[in-house]
Amino acid sequence: MTEKELLTFFKNLDRAYFIDGPSKAMAGLDHALPIGYGQTISQPSLVFEMTWHLALEPGSKVLEIGTGSGYQTVFLAAFGGTVYTIERLEALGVPARARLEALGYSNIHYRIGDGSCGWPEAAPFDRIIVTAASAAVPAELVAQLAPGGRMILPVGVPGDQDLLLVTKDSEGEVSRRVLGKVVFVELVGKYGFGDVLD
Ligand code: SAM
């Protein structure tokens, strides 16, 4: 994935396609926007940045926690190999799947449930992206990251969240780097903020 390839894809993708309801008219703005159920479609420039830092390769096996509208997922499917995406809210996950299938992507596995535990049966993953903030890096996700893998995720409390890049070297040594401050909805579930799944 070169920066030019990513930029071309980013510019040609119509974010309005991933939005139903009143936010659709604002799809062109570089803001997170409401998509219902207290959730948001991510800010386009942040989707670009997170995708870039993931350094996807055509063979990458990618885990995404928080499918939301499917907007970030399409970047993973276009530049990665196989994508495993988990959304806790059926009301968002089902339409997101329909959108991605209608675009012709057949390299995506979908799950409705608690993604804070990852997808153990499909692990290890070369890349992991979490699009909701947890209080700490979920140990389950670090365990499911392959040697040589990269994980990007927001960590912190509302008003003070860092975007982290977590890498695991070929020996299994884990390092982390803060990429900047961000604003995300909370990751809920077993390894998120409380076990409040409905
Ligand atoms: N990148 C997505 C997009 O652009 O549409 C936006 C994702 S939104 C900021 C975060 C999503 O994470 C929400 O849809 C929320 O329901 C989901 N989520 C929160 N906790 C989760 C969990 N434990 N497992 C799976 N999904 C979760």
The complex's ipTM? 0.99
pLDDT of 195 over the 60 cut: no
Question: Is residue 21 situated within a structural domain?
Answer: yes
Question: Is residue 197 situated within a structural domain?
Answer: no
What's the chain's length in residues? Answer: 198
C-beta 88 within 6 A of ligand 1:
yes
Known catalytic residue: 134?
no
Q: How far is the CA of 148 from the centre of ligand 1 (A)?
A: 25
pTM of the model: 0.96
Q: How far is the CA of 175 from the centre of ligand 1 (A)?
A: 25
Q: Do 65 and 132 touch, CB atoms closer than 8 A?
A: yes
Q: How confident is the model at residue 197 (pLDDT cuts 50, 70, 90)?
A: very low
Cβ neighbours of residue 102 under 8 Å, at least 6 residues apart? none
The mean of the pLDDT values for the chain is 95
Q: How confident is the model at residue 191 (pLDDT cuts 50, 70, 90)?
A: confident
pLDDT of 109 over the 60 cut: yes
C-beta 54 within 6 A of ligand 1:
no
pLDDT of 196 over the 80 cut: no
The boundaries of the domain holding residue 53 are 3-25+32-182
Question: Is residue 72 situated within a structural domain?
Answer: yes
Tell me, what's the pLDDT at 198?
A: 37
Question: Is residue 85 situated within a structural domain?
Answer: yes
Q: How far is the CA of 171 from the centre of ligand 1 (A)?
A: 31
In degrees and rounded to multiples of 5, residue 100 shows phi and psi of -70, -35
Q: Considering its fold, how many domains does the chain have in total?
A: 1
Q: Which run of H or of E encompasses 48?
A: helix 44-54
Average pLDDT for 131-148: 95
Average pLDDT for 10-39: 96
